[in-house]
Chain A
């Protein structure tokens, strides 16, 4: 039982490049979330999903897209990376209450 996993763990991009972050969960969570964590700002919600095939915008959605084609996977895409998107990204799964987080992806955009 791996819980919530994220790939990759680290990534360096150049401005304008694209990439996809993958989140996978084996806990049968209906809800899944993508957050970014920046120093002094706390975790901020980017997008979330309340079930397979559904997505919705969170607090800071600009520059990101998501998809949830399968219940166990939640993908976060950056179409054209910007230095402001340098951050640590966390995926979480939950059932409407407490959330269970993955180990994070550290992304640097040069």
Chain B
């Protein structure tokens, strides 16, 4: 069964305290893994797409990596404005099906 599990559910960091969010997945024929950011009361905002194990993408303080079983979203020296829920999703090959995780709620304290 296709499944996406994100951990931790919630994370509180001090400003400048680096950490990583995890997205583990089981899916037949991964076609892509996606990271989104969601602010309260808003729709998810696209961050990254990763297609194959070993791939890495960076944007400002965020870096996403991918292995055959999981993806990490590394946050370096976070700022309060990085506070949001981060969602992971996988696209199953041969279908239009996207499976989303339940997200990690990140709070960065000043």
- A residues near B (Cβ < 8 Å) are 4, 31, 33, 40-45, 48, 50, 56, 58-59, 90, 92, 97-104
**Among all A-B residue pairs, the 8 with the closest Cβ atoms:** A101-B43, A43-B100, A42-B100, A42-B102, A98-B46, A101-B44, A103-B43, A90-B43
Tell me the dominant secondary structure on chain A's binding face: strand
Which residues of chain A are within 8 angstroms of B46 by Cβ–Cβ distance?
98-100
Whole-angstrom CA separation of A103 from B41 in the bound complex: 8
Say which size band chain B's interface belongs to.
20 to 34
The total number of A-B Cβ pairs within 8 Å is: 48
Whole-angstrom CA separation of A64 from B37 in the bound complex: 27
- B residues near A (Cβ < 8 Å) are 4, 32, 34, 36, 41-46, 49, 87, 89, 91, 96-98, 100-103
B102 adjacent to A41 (CB under 8 Å): yes
Shortest beta-carbon distance from B62 to chain A in Å: 15
Among B4, B96, B97, the one with the most A-chain Cβ atoms within 10 Å of its Cβ is B96
A48 adjacent to B96 (CB under 8 Å): yes
- Can you name the residue of chain A whose Cβ is closest to the Cβ of B97? A45
- Can you name the residue of chain B whose Cβ is closest to the Cβ of A56? B96
Whole-angstrom CA separation of A98 from B57 in the bound complex: 14
- Give which listed residue, B42, B97, B98, B102, contacts A103 with CB less than 8 A: B42
Whole-angstrom CA separation of A78 from B50 in the bound complex: 35
Whole-angstrom CA separation of A44 from B98 in the bound complex: 9
Shortest beta-carbon distance from A6 to chain B in Å: 8
- Give which listed residue, A50, A59, A102, contacts B43 with CB less than 8 A: A102
Which residues of chain B are within 8 angstroms of A56 by Cβ–Cβ distance?
96
Shortest beta-carbon distance from A9 to chain B in Å: 10
A101 adjacent to B45 (CB under 8 Å): yes
A90 adjacent to B44 (CB under 8 Å): yes
CB pairs A–B below 8 angstroms (22 shown) = A31-B96, A33-B98, A40-B102, A43-B44, A43-B87, A43-B100, A45-B98, A58-B97, A59-B97, A90-B43, A92-B43, A97-B32, A97-B34, A99-B34, A99-B44, A99-B98, A100-B46, A101-B36, A101-B44, A103-B42, A103-B43, A104-B42
